[in-house]
Amino acid sequence: MALVVPGPRPAKRVTVKRKRGAFTPLLLLAPALLWLGVFFVLPTISLASQSLQSGSTSSGYTFTWEFSNYADAVVRYWPQFLRSFGFALLATLITLLLGYPLAWFIAHRSGKFKTILLVLVVAPFFTNFLIRTLAWKIILSNEGLVSTVFRDTGITSLLQMVGLLSTDTLLGSPFAVVAGLAYNFLPFMVLPLYASLERLDLRLVEAASDLYANGWQSFWKVIWPLSLPGVVSGTLLTFIPAAGDYINARLLGNIQTSMIGQVIDGQFLTVMDYPLAAALSFILMGTIIVLVGLYIRSAGTEELV
């Protein structure tokens, strides 16, 4: 028969030593952390130091707490900064607007075509994005279908009214740059949105309509809040690279649409004013981190990507 062994309560207590390796995670992490430390953190520190130096490539650089590099960067290039963030914001909103229905369609309405559709969203990645951006040049050219349709339907005049176009020509305009940015980063928006929406239980929508919510209300009160993690990571994955991008601005825009990436690239590789270039980079990075921090806080999501 089973019995409770009555033994004295505070019997000899044997403490078990924790032998499960505390070193295992460290060993597993070491290579990746080392790599990121040496080739990401160290360069960032190096960039920070560079941004406070004075001198030139020929005479050499000395560290002089040269904060005027930052003042110089802001004074000379604030229009490019503003334009970069403006274009990136606009492109992000467009990708969200376009990506949401596509992600919903793939997640809940595509049936057995789901995998094929996902492949089609990702596949363009494998064609070099420069080639695809060049294809936009063909699509948006004056003789192209898009230009004709836009002119005939009055979209061109509309875009001129909001300031995204200055002439009849689509290429070499803010419109072309924003459209190119939106196009380039659309898959980065669709995939996290899809991941969020796919997990969403459609019975919740039924429950919402059972509780007297109309279609619009069940979207705003049920679907949208539950898809927020996807929205947050999608917008971040779009906004951050778009703000620093300059390929679209260079290939699809003109001199009036130049973005900050172009300036940094030029200062580093052509003008070779390293301290100014470093200061520009740091302002861009710092601004993005602050904006992202504020955004994540207001969205209330801790979990990233």
Partner 1 sequence: MSAVKKAFSWVRKHLVVFAGLLVLAYILLPNLVVVIFSFNKPDGRLNYTWNQFSFDAWLDPCGSPGMCEAVGLSLWIAVVATLVSTVIGTMAAFALSRFRFRGRAITNLLVFLPMATPEVVMGSSLLTLFVAMGVHTGRTTILIAHIMFTVSFVITTVKARVASLDPALEQAAADLYASPAQAFWKVTFPLAAPGIGAGALLAFALSFDDYIVTNFNAGASTMTFPMYVWSAAQRGAPVQVNVIGTVMFLGAITIVGVAQLVGARKRKVDA
Partner 2 sequence: MAVGTQRKAIGELRLVDLRRTYDDFVAVDGINLDIPPSSFFALLGPSGCGKTTTLRMVAGLEEPSSGRIFLGADDITNTRAYQRRVNTVFQSYALFPHLNIVDNVGFGLRQLKVPNWRVKAMEALELVKLADRAKQRPRQLSGGMQQRVALARAIVNEPDILLLDEPLGALDLKLRREMQVELKRIQSEVGITFIHVTHDQEEAMTMADTVAVMRAGSVEQLGSPAELYDNPATAFVANFVGKSNLLPIEVGTVGAGLVKVASHGIELTVDSAQFPDGQTTGLQLGIRPEKLRLITDADATLVNRLPGQITDVSFAGVSTTYLVKMAWGQEMEITQPNDGSARAELGQSVTIGWDPHHCFVVGA
- Span 14-53, contacts to partner 2 by CB under 8 A: 14-16, 18
CA 157 to chain centre: 31
Nearest to 249 by CA among 138, 93, 64, 83: 83
Among 89, 96, 98, 226, binds partner 1 (CB under 8 A): 98
| Contacts for 234 with CB less than 8 Å, ≥ 6 apart | 95, 96, 99, 188, 189, 190, 191, 192, 193
Q: Does 198 bind partner 1 (CB under 8 A)?
A: no
Q: How many Å is the Cα radius of gyration of the chain?
A: 27
| Between 11 and 131, CB nearer to partner 2 | 11
Q: Which is nearer to partner 1, 6 or 62 (CB)?
A: 62
Phi-psi region of 62 (alpha: psi -120 to 50; beta: other; left: phi over 0): beta
- Nearest-approach distance from CB 115 to partner 2, in angstroms: 18
The nearest distance, CB 197 to partner 1, in angstroms, is 11
301: left (phi over 0), alpha (psi -120 to 50) or beta: beta
Nearer to partner 2, 12 or 203 (CB): 12
Query: What is the rounded distance in angstroms from the CA atom of residue 52 to the CA atom of residue 65?
Result: 5
Contact 233, 263 (CB under 8 A): no
Beta carbon nearer to partner 2, 4 or 131 = 4
Residue 6's binding partner among partner 1, partner 2, none (Cβ under 5 to 8 angstroms by kind) is partner 2
Query: How many positions of this chain bind partner 1 (CB under 8 A)?
Result: 85
- Which region, judged by CB under 8 A, interacts with partner 2, from 10-18, 55-63, 94-102, 181-189? 10-18
CB of 171 to partner 2, least distance (A): 52
Which residue among 213, 241, 273, 299 contacts partner 1 (CB under 8 A)?
Answer: 241
SS3 call for 53:
strand
Site for partner 1 in 242-261 (CB under 8 A): 243-247, 251, 261
Q: Is 291 helix (H, G, I), strand (E, B) or coil?
A: helix
Residues lying near partner 2 in the complex (CB under 8 A): 1-7, 9, 11, 13-16, 18
